[in-house]
Amino acid sequence: MELKPMSGFSTCCAGPKATFSPEAAAVPKKIKPTEVAVFIAALAAWWVIYQSLSEIAHYLTYSLFGLAEGSHLAAAVEFFIYDTPKVL
């Protein structure tokens, strides 16, 4: 069996090669104040929700869904609601 050199194969990337421009790479992207504000607001909202996960899970399980306290299903649902956002 004869092996062909890699240059003999045609691929989707076989087109003209991209050139690197050091001038374009040296210019950093400027961060806008609105981007910073949105990031800080999202971070604050995430922190508040993360700190309240236990209370949110308890409320949703027993008040909104109306499951009986002490049941296995209620405990499983409460744990699922409490733990799922941590994984995401």
Range of the domain at 58: 53-88
Residue 78 lies in a domain: yes
Using alpha carbons only, how large is the chain's radius of gyration in Å? 27
Q: Number of structural domains, the chain? A: 1
Residue 70 lies in a domain: yes
Residue 34 lies in a domain: no
CA distance 55 to 44: 18
What would the mean pLDDT of 71-77 be, rounded to a whole number?
Answer: 96
Residue 18 lies in a domain: no
Residue 62 lies in a domain: yes
Residue 33 lies in a domain: no
Verdict on whether the full-model pTM lies above 0.85: no
Per-residue model confidence as pLDDT tens digits over 21-67: 676 667 778 899 999 999 999 999 999 999 999 999 999 999 999 99
